[in-house]
Amino acid sequence: MITSNRPKPPINVLDKRVPRNPKYENVQATIDTGDSLTKFLKRNEELRA
């Protein structure tokens, strides 16, 4: 079997997919700066459900 030793094209680091970890599914990508209208409404919806 003959294989070529051509180099693979470089892969951009930012294009790689980040593996998902179910342990951190509830972590949000925003900074918690305290109460806001969206958090207030979200919490109220959770309490009603």
| pLDDT attached to residue 4 | 73
**Model confidence, pTM:** 0.30
* Residue 6 counted as domain residue: no
Give CA–CA dist 40/37, Å, rounded.
5
Q: Which two tokens stand for residue 8?
A: 């693979």
Give CA–CA dist 18/20, Å, rounded.
6
The better pLDDT of the pair 7, 2 is held by: 7
* Residue 3 counted as domain residue: no
Confidence of residue 39 (pLDDT cuts 50, 70, 90): confident
Which residue segment(s) compose the domain that 22 sits in?
13-48
Confidence of residue 1 (pLDDT cuts 50, 70, 90): low
DSSP state of 22: G
* Residue 37 counted as domain residue: yes
The better pLDDT of the pair 6, 20 is held by: 20
| pLDDT attached to residue 9 | 83
CB half-sphere exposure, 17, CA atoms < 13 A:
3
| pLDDT attached to residue 2 | 66
